Structure 1
Amino acid sequence: MEVVVVLLVILAVLGLIVLSSSVKVVKQYERGVIYRWGRVNRLPKEPGPRFLVPFIDRMTKVNMQVVTMPVPSQEGITRDNVSVRVDAVLYFRVVDPIRATVDVQNYQFAMLQVAQTSLRSIIGKSDLDDLLSGREQLHEGLELMLATPAAGWGVHIDRVEIKDVALPESMKRSMARQAEADRERRARIITADGELQASQKLSEAARTMDANPAALQLRLLQTVVEVAAEKNSTLVMPFPVEMLRFFDRAGAGTGAANDKPAAAAAPPAVAPADPQPAVEPADERAELPKSVGPQIPDPRSSEE
């Protein structure tokens, strides 16, 4: 009796083990591929609990989520002979789990290798400017190059993007000098254009002030007001030459008007009388009287 009980317990344990091994749970983001006697079932299993025939069926789960795969940096030479290192990011997902498990041994490794070779190929076909600024077209080209083999493996390419472009230091310095020279050129052009516009406006203002001298005086007063607003103790006011000319012309016109009647009433000029003969100066060579010095007595005469 005890032996029967032991056998029943052993059978129950084996039944539980077999039952647990025959029941599989497929998650929502997975699909199950069933192999029965080594032959694949063409209908993948949907999410939920699935019962398998013990020791006959084998199930492989395939992830249907989007896979983000970084592509290692690939070094290449562009079409304009510049050495660069480019890395990218690949986004793909499995759409046919049967083909992804049967037609290719490891679809993720296969996609990585294809992405690397396609990236090196796109580097050699592109210019440096395209790698730096025209990446949208490169992304489309990479996607087309990867879509052809991926379709045969049951994989759909969502998108491919170039993440970074590494340039040599010498090329970076050359590009920096080029950008600096271009900015300096544009700055000079803008400055010259500003000078041209300012000269045109100043020329128009000069013609207006020349036609209306009062405008020059008003401008001078405005300048005085602007300088006085600084509250300086000393005010240096420039006096324009045009204003002096204006006053000169005004004074010349008034003087000419006053001189006309005086010239009409002036009497006729009288001839001057004969001049008196000039007295000739004394002869400078005449001898002047010599001054007589004091007489010194002779000491011998005093002794006598």
Structure 2
Amino acid sequence: MDPQKGKPKENKTEHLIADRREGIGVCGWILLSFSFLLVLITFPISIWACVKVIREYERAVVFRLGRILSKKAKGPGIILILPCTDTFVKVDLRTVACNIPLQEILTKDAVATQVDGVLYYRIHSAVRAVANITDVHSATFLLAQATLRNVLAMQTLAQLLGGREEIACSTQAILNRATEQWGIKVACVEIKDVRIPVAMQRAMAAEAEAARETRAKIVAAAGEMNASKALKQASMVLAESPAGLQLCYLQTLTAKNNSTIVFPLPINMLVSLGQKSKGG
């Protein structure tokens, strides 16, 4: 609130529209009266020149004697335009998709990359889009291109490759703050492709391969450790149960589809035989 006037502050566009209330002057009223008279004299032929059809996805910003006719754009449907005094500009409110071309980016950790993207936006205020800027589409495209470069330049390569969603959200927020006065609403910003130098790709591939080999070695060592623990437990069980050891001997004698039979002989028997041979 303005402490002096006690009224809400208006933006530039609202001041621009409010100026028309001060009056169009004597010449303006003469031209306006002449325009009405011309329409009445040439009616109903003039109705075809005065009636304009605005589609559902369009809005019309009407200028009367160079001033915006109302705070709100007209349409959709049929609107009346007076000859000689009124002009209008059609504004498309549908979502626009534009490609951000491939551009060179130097990341925070000094890695040269090439990045491209896509921008989705729409006009939510036709009056601002016409009154506050000359070419709203070209300005939005150039601003998106510069903003994306600035945001990516503050990221490292790892953040760029792994944090695309965060980068897109940050870029969208910056663009929305900058384009609000143009009547633009940025719906989405997406990074399509990130290209890094071939030498960097080879280094990253070698690092990934080394990491995979390290993980494989760790898994193999863990498997061998588990197998040795299982063998140790089995040997302790067999040592405590002589019957189980004899069953293992009998199982070893079983041979299927093989002509070789392995006959296990206990070590203590061989030791006793060796002692008898020495004593004889």
Q: TM-score, normalised by structure 1?
A: 0.71
2:61 alignment partner in structure 1: 33
Q: State how far apart, in whole Å, the 2-side matches of 1:99 and 1:215 are.
A: 92
Distance 1:162 1:216 in 2: 68
Any conservation in 2 of the 1:74–1:119 contact (CA below 8 Å)?
no
Shift of 1:206: 1.2
CA-atom RMSD in angstroms: 2.3
Which one of 194, 207, 212 corresponds to residue 165 of structure 1?
194
2:43, 2:195 → 1: CA distance?
Answer: 62
- Asked whether the 8 Å contact 2:152–2:167 carries over to 1, the reply is no
Q: For residue 154 of structure 1, report the CA deviation from its aligned partner.
A: 0.6
C-alpha distance in structure 1 between counterparts of 2:263 and 2:182, whole Å: 89
CA contact (8 A) 1:69 1:112 kept: yes
1:175–1:238 Cα change, 3 Å: farther
Could you list the runs of 5+ residues in structure 2 that have no partner in the other structure? 1-41
- One-letter amino acid of the counterpart of residue 29, structure 1: Y
d(CA) in 1 for partners of 2:45 and 2:157? 63
- Picking from 185, 200, 205, the partner of 2:229 is 200
Q: CA deviation at 1:220?
A: 3.7
**1:134 alignment counterpart:** 163
User: For each residue in 1:264-294, what CA deviation from the matched residue of structure 2 results, as whole angstroms up to 9, or x when unmatched?
Assistant: xxxxxxxxxxxxxxxxxxxxxxxxxxxxxxx
Q: Which residue identity does 2:149 align to in structure 1? A: R
Number of residue pairs matched by the alignment: 233
Distance in 1 (CA, whole Å) between partners of 2:207 and 2:80 is: 69
Q: Given the superposition, is the C-alpha separation of residues 221 and 76 from structure 1 closer, same or farther in structure 2, using an over 3 Å criterion?
A: same
Measured after TM superposition, the shift of residue 21 of structure 1 is 2.5
Task: Describe the SS at the equivalent of 2:91.
Answer: strand
| Cα drift, residue 99 of structure 1 | 0.4
- Matched AA of 2:176: A
Q: Hey, what's the Cα distance between the residues in 2 that align with 1:223 and 1:92?
A: 78
Q: Which residue of 2 aligns with 1:263?
A: none
Identity percentage of aligned residues: 35
Determine if contact 2:108/2:155 at 8 Å carries over to the other structure: yes
Going from structure 1 to structure 2, the CA distance change for 1:142 and 1:201 (only over 3 Å counts) comes to: same
Q: Which residue of 2 aligns with 1:3?
A: none
Higher relative contact order (CA 8 A, sep 6+): 2
Q: Distance in 2 between matches of 1:35 and 1:235?
A: 106
Q: 1:143 to 1:216 in 2, by over 3 A?
A: same
- The one-letter amino acid paired with 2:48 is S
Q: Larger Cα Rg: Structure 1 or Structure 2?
A: 1
> What's the offset of the Cα at 1:144?
1.9
3-state SS in 2 of match to 1:43: coil
Q: SS of the residue aligned with 2:216?
A: helix
In the superposition, relative to structure 1, how do residues 81 and 236 fare at CA in structure 2: closer, same or farther (>3 Å)?
farther
Q: Residues 19 and 173 of structure 1: is their aligned pair in 2 closer, same or farther, counting only changes over 3 Å?
A: same
Shift of 1:176: 0.3
Match of 1:235 among 260, 272, 279: 260
What is the CA–CA distance in structure 2 between the aligned matches of 1:148 and 1:138, rounded to whole Å? 16
The 8 Å contact of residues 224 and 237 in structure 1, kept in 2 or not, is answered as yes
Q: Which residue of 134, 143, 148 corresponds with 1:119?
A: 148
Taking structure 2 as the reference length, what is the TM-score of the superposition? 0.77
Match of 2:52 in 1: 24
Alpha-carbon spacing, 1:37–1:216, altered in 2? closer, same or farther (3 Å): same
Paired position in structure 2 for 1:68: 97
How far 1:251 sits from its partner (Å)? 9.0
Which of these residues, 52, 69, 72, is aligned with residue 43 of structure 1?
72
Q: What letter corresponds to residue 262 of structure 2 in structure 1? A: M
